[in-house]
Amino acid sequence: MKQLFFLLFLFNSVFCAAESQAKKPNIIWLIAEDMSPHFGCYGEKTIQTPNVDKLAAGGLLFENAFVTAPICSTSRSALITGMYQTTIGAHHHRSGVGVEKIKLPADVSLVPQLFQQAGYFTSNGGYPEMKTGKTDYNFQYTPSCYDGTDWKTRKEGQPFFAQIQLWGGKIRDAEKQIAQARKKLGSVTPTDNLPLPPYYPRTPAILDDWAATLDAVRITDQQIGEIIERLRSEGILDQTIIFFITDHGVSHGRGKQFLYDEGTHIAFVVNGPGLPKGERRKDLIEHIDMAAMSLTLAGIQQPKSMQARNVIATNYQPREATFSARDRADETVDHIRSVRTERFKYIRNFLPQRPYLQPNDYKDHKPCVIALRAVEAAGQLNDVQQLLFAKTRPPEELYDLSADPWEVKNLAADPAHAKTLLDLRTKLDVWMEQTKDQGRTPETESRYDSDMAAYLGRKPKPEIMKNIELMKKWAKEGK
């Protein structure tokens, strides 16, 4: 009889546990690379993006979401921990990859680890193959924080936390890839009357590249529709909360790697049970907030050390400003910080004696940058378009975003804005101090050499080696 009671107790415990698990929502992160919010729901009129628009119409859209870093590895390192990359020492792009490793502080956990501990199946896959997805973290971590690459291998009834990595804007980078994407779309975005930011010249090469960028957005929208349809066919769409963001802005001359809105402003849409429907919010949020939101929606306690904010909490206090940071990108040393309020953007260039477009092997081989340099060499740029090619930078930049959304008129020296300049300068100083910004201390030469050795690999590229020597030369000269 005792054995029978024990078996009944055991069965009831398992049943209750399974029932409890079933009530937990699935959480999916759809993360597209190199893409600004060129979607219909964000005001894009050149192309149609029905799937993201529908996701936003039935969910919650944040109009003013910004990344804390405009480069993939630093942005992803921040997101997966819910921490500023500058706080955890992950602020240099592709750092900790050599013999000198970077370890996270003891009180910092990865989001998938927290989901695992709560009984979730965790996965990280790249769409459409759903093979191992991009991590690109600038610190050591345990790969076992991911149980697989696709939620289909989870236990029956087990809730899941899934990241799906989308090529996004990188689709346009390879001629073969964009050709295949356009074949699937059945059309090409026309370049006639194609709107461009004022700082890009309207040359055939630039227009073609911008059209390819928008086609990459269209194919990303199509892929999101396919993922949603899979969830529907599996009967779990109504049990799943879907987040869609981009890891930073478009990879263009003034976008990726820079702290202008083109590099930091992202799409941020969330849809699922228990969330508002058709709501648009204008408050300022940071991309790391997705970590805090996801944990809360799954009923998981947010670690005290986590800097992300649960922006859907009843006691949420909206930010006065968002903060972003740019540091070394591959071989190219840089140090920039920004603070953005609803109306103003303040940027501090810690290395003002360097040009904006420093030599960078990754960026210098992009068709858009090659096209920009060609037009500049031919002397065909106007004053606004010439800004990117300045040989030095102002120590401070200040923009009135309401009057100058493209950030081309620097007001830092304007006496009429002296008070605003001082206020934002102070805000940035306080943020760097309070968050223990590790970028305040220059990267050691041994750490730089360690990462560069790994970056160069077995077949050192002459262009990169030349850039490395230039970086060291400028550092010695105090530039």
Q: Check if the beta carbon of residue 93 is closer than 8 Å to that of residue 73.
A: yes
> What's the CA gap between 82 and 309, in Å, rounded?
9
Asked whether residue 362 is domain-assigned, the answer is: no
Asked whether residue 337 is domain-assigned, the answer is: no
* Distant-in-sequence, close-in-space partners of 256: CB < 8 Å, separation ≥ 6: 34, 70, 71, 248, 249, 250, 263, 363
212-237 pLDDT tens trace: 999 999 999 999 999 999 999 999 99
Asked whether residue 427 is domain-assigned, the answer is: no
- For the segment 306-327, the average pLDDT, to the nearest whole number, is 97
- For the segment 59-79, the average pLDDT, to the nearest whole number, is 98
Q: How many CB atoms lie within 10 A of CB 479?
A: 15
pLDDT level of residue 459 (50, 70, 90 thresholds): confident
242-265 pLDDT tens trace: 999 999 999 999 999 999 999 999
3-state SS track over 394-417? CCEEEEECCCCCCCCCCCCCCHHH
Asked whether residue 377 is domain-assigned, the answer is: no
412-435 pLDDT tens trace: 999 999 999 999 999 999 999 999
Share of the chain above pLDDT 90, in %: 94
Structure confidence at residue 403 (pLDDT): 98
> What's the CA gap between 112 and 353, in Å, rounded?
42
Domain count, the chain: 1
Asked whether residue 136 is domain-assigned, the answer is: yes
pLDDT level of residue 458 (50, 70, 90 thresholds): confident
- β-pair type (396-400, 265-266): unpaired
* Distant-in-sequence, close-in-space partners of 345: CB < 8 Å, separation ≥ 6: 259, 260, 261, 338, 339, 397, 398, 399, 401, 407
Q: Which amino acid is at 247?
A: D
9-46 pLDDT tens trace: 444 444 444 444 458 999 999 999 999 999 999 999 99
Cis peptide before 50 (omega within 30 of 0): no
Asked whether residue 171 is domain-assigned, the answer is: yes
Q: Check if the beta carbon of residue 271 is closer than 8 Å to that of residue 58.
A: yes
Q: How many CB atoms lie within 10 A of CB 371?
A: 20
> 7 pLDDT exceeds 90?
no
Structure confidence at residue 17 (pLDDT): 45
Both structure tokens of 362? 């990754």
Q: Check if the beta carbon of residue 27 is closer than 8 Å to that of residue 241.
A: yes
- Mean pLDDT over the full length of the chain: 95
Structure confidence at residue 117 (pLDDT): 98
- For the segment 327-355, the average pLDDT, to the nearest whole number, is 98
Q: Check if the beta carbon of residue 338 is closer than 8 Å to that of residue 320.
A: no
Nearest C-alpha neighbor of 271 from the set 64, 39, 62, 124: 62
Share of the chain above pLDDT 70, in %: 95
> What's the CA gap between 207 and 212, in Å, rounded?
9
Q: Give the CATH number, domain containing residue 308.
A: 3.40.720.10
- For the segment 40-67, the average pLDDT, to the nearest whole number, is 98
Q: Check if the beta carbon of residue 35 is closer than 8 Å to that of residue 217.
A: yes
> What's the CA gap between 221 and 49, in Å, rounded?
6
Q: Check if the beta carbon of residue 67 is closer than 8 Å to that of residue 75.
A: yes
pLDDT level of residue 8 (50, 70, 90 thresholds): very low
First to last CA, the chain: 83
> 6 pLDDT exceeds 60?
no
Asked whether residue 122 is domain-assigned, the answer is: yes
- For the segment 272-298, the average pLDDT, to the nearest whole number, is 98
Both structure tokens of 471? 């970086």
- β-pair type (121-126, 322-326): unpaired
Domain encompassing residue 245: 19-320
Structure confidence at residue 14 (pLDDT): 44
Structure confidence at residue 174 (pLDDT): 87
> What's the CA gap between 11 and 66, in Å, rounded?
48
Asked whether residue 145 is domain-assigned, the answer is: yes
Residue for token pair 């997805």: 133
Structure confidence at residue 374 (pLDDT): 97
